[in-house]
Amino acid sequence: MISLAPGPSALYFTVIDHTRRAFRDGIPSMSHRSKEFEFIFREVDQGLRQLLNIPDDFCIAFTSSATEVWERSIQNLVSETSFHLVNGAFSKRFFEISTQLGRHATCLEAPAGSGFGEVLVPPGQELIGLTQNETSTGVTLPMTLIQSVRKASPESLLVVDAVSSLPYPVFDFSQVDSVFFSVQKGFGMPPGLGVWIFNERCIERASALQTKGKHIGTYHSLPSLASFARKNQTPETPNTLAIYVLGKVIADFLRRGIDTIRRETEYKSTLLYQALDNHPVIRPFVRKPEDRSKTVITVATDGHTSDLITFLSKRGFQAGEGYGSFKSTQVRIANFPAHSKEQYEALADALAEFKK
Residues at the site binding its own copies, with contacts judged by CB under 8 A = 1, 3, 5, 7-11, 15-16, 19-20, 23, 26-32, 63-65, 67-68, 70-71, 97, 100-102, 182, 184, 189-193, 213, 215, 217-220, 235-242, 320
Which is closer to its own copies, CB of 43 or CB of 71?
Answer: 71
Residue nearer to its own copies on the CB measure, 79 or 148: 79
C-alpha to C-alpha distance for 304 and 318, rounded to whole angstroms = 15
Cβ at position 158, least distance to its own copies in Å:
21
Q: How far is the CB of 278 from its own copies (least distance, A)?
A: 30
- In angstroms, how far is CA 147 from the centroid of its own chain? 19
Tell me how far, at minimum, the Cβ of 213 lies from its own copies, in Å: 8
Kind plus residue range of the DSSP H or E element containing 252 = helix 240-256
Spatial CB neighbours of 287, under 8 Å, sequence gap ≥ 6: 113, 114
Query: Which residue, 114 or 232, has its beta carbon nearer to its own copies?
Result: 232
- The distance of closest approach from Cβ of residue 288 to its own copies in the complex, given in angstroms and rounded to an integer, is 29
Calpha distance 105→126 (Å, rounded): 10
Other C-beta atoms closer than 10 Å to the C-beta of 295 total: 28
CA angle 103, 85, 269 (to 5 degrees): 140
Q: Which is nearer to its own copies, 176 or 203 (CB)?
A: 203
* 144 versus 237: smaller Cβ distance to its own copies: 237
Let me know the angle formed at the C-alpha of 153 by 147 and 154, rounded to the nearest 5 degrees: 80
Question: At its nearest, how many Å lie between its own copies and the CB of residue 202?
Answer: 19
The answer to whether 178 and 163 have CB atoms below 8 angstroms apart is no
